[in-house]
Amino acid sequence: MLIARTINDLNSARATLGSAIGFVPTMGALHQGHLALIEAAKANGAKVAASIFVNPTQFGPSEDFTRYPRTEEADLEKLEAAGCHLVWLPDVATMYPPEGATAITLSGPATRWEGVLRPGHFAGVATVVAKLFGQVRPTHAYFGEKDFQQVQVITRMVADLLLPVEIVAIPTIRETDGLALSSRNRFLSPEDRARAPMLYATLRSAAAHIAAGEDVTKTLETACNNLSAANLTPDYFNLVDARSLEPMTIFTAPARILAAAKLGPIRLLDNIAVG
């Protein structure tokens, strides 16, 4: 596995890989969800590149940038074992040169949900992903559906900026009790970890009720009450159009329920397709 820490190293390594590249951008602290993205890229037959960069611009001032888990050695071992061909590990000065004056601004699917609760988050994500695409020049890029809004934002950005890369969304990988894998799950106390699967259980139940024709507003209200009763504080729990992410009060496919809830010191994010 080739490891590049400078643009020169990246360009030399990239030149050995040929034209078709499947790319998995990450912030490290890798788990089975990331490795499923590597697997999907490998299954597509291309060489596989991953990046590890904890992107400062997607964290708000009161968020956990400094506490975000950094586990480079273990991450490199996992990527090597998974059959990744190239890992790109840029530093902050490479990604954000001091003279930099350009960033991406977003509307559409970035404006609601996480976009409201984490102002600037998606602009940071889109800007860094566009830069990574420019550096790695992948033909395909793989993102997990756990961050469903992120997938829609990046898909929209690629279409709008005419970037020559195909975005591939991969289903969420879960623990056996349903909790979606996330690098931040390690911060859950044992009590909160035991409560956390309630989010996905509630999503499943609400999706089944809505698909069966039950009233959307009432179903979502019951879901929020059930979460609160289990000590999860919902930030949102909404039925949305799966492409625009605009809220719906009457179910029409393709639809998704997007949910975020606070549990102790962390926020759980999850979603489910309806129908």
Binding site for ligand PAF (CB under 6 A): 25-27, 55, 58, 125, 128-129, 147, 150
Alpha-carbon gap, residue 40 to 11, rounded angstroms: 24
| Inter-residue contact 127 to 53 (CB < 8 Å) | no
Amino acid type, 56? P
Give the number of C-alpha atoms closer than 13 A to the C-alpha of residue 54, restricted to the C-beta side: 16
| For ligand PAF, the closer CB: 171 or 275 | 171
| For ligand PAF, the closer CB: 128 or 257 | 128
List active site positions: 34
- The least distance separating ligand PAF from the CB of residue 146, rounded to whole angstroms, comes to 9
Residue 262 three-state SS: strand
- The least distance separating ligand PAF from the CB of residue 269, rounded to whole angstroms, comes to 11
- The least distance separating ligand PAF from the CB of residue 149, rounded to whole angstroms, comes to 11
Strands 233-241 and 255-263: antiparallel
| For ligand PAF, the closer CB: 87 or 224 | 87
CB atoms within 10 A of CB 254: 11
Alpha-carbon gap, residue 153 to 150, rounded angstroms: 5
Residue that is written with structure tokens 């349903």 in the block? 178
Residue 129 three-state SS: helix
- The least distance separating ligand PAF from the CB of residue 183, rounded to whole angstroms, comes to 8
| For ligand PAF, the closer CB: 150 or 238 | 150
Distance of CA 175 to the CA centre of its chain: 17
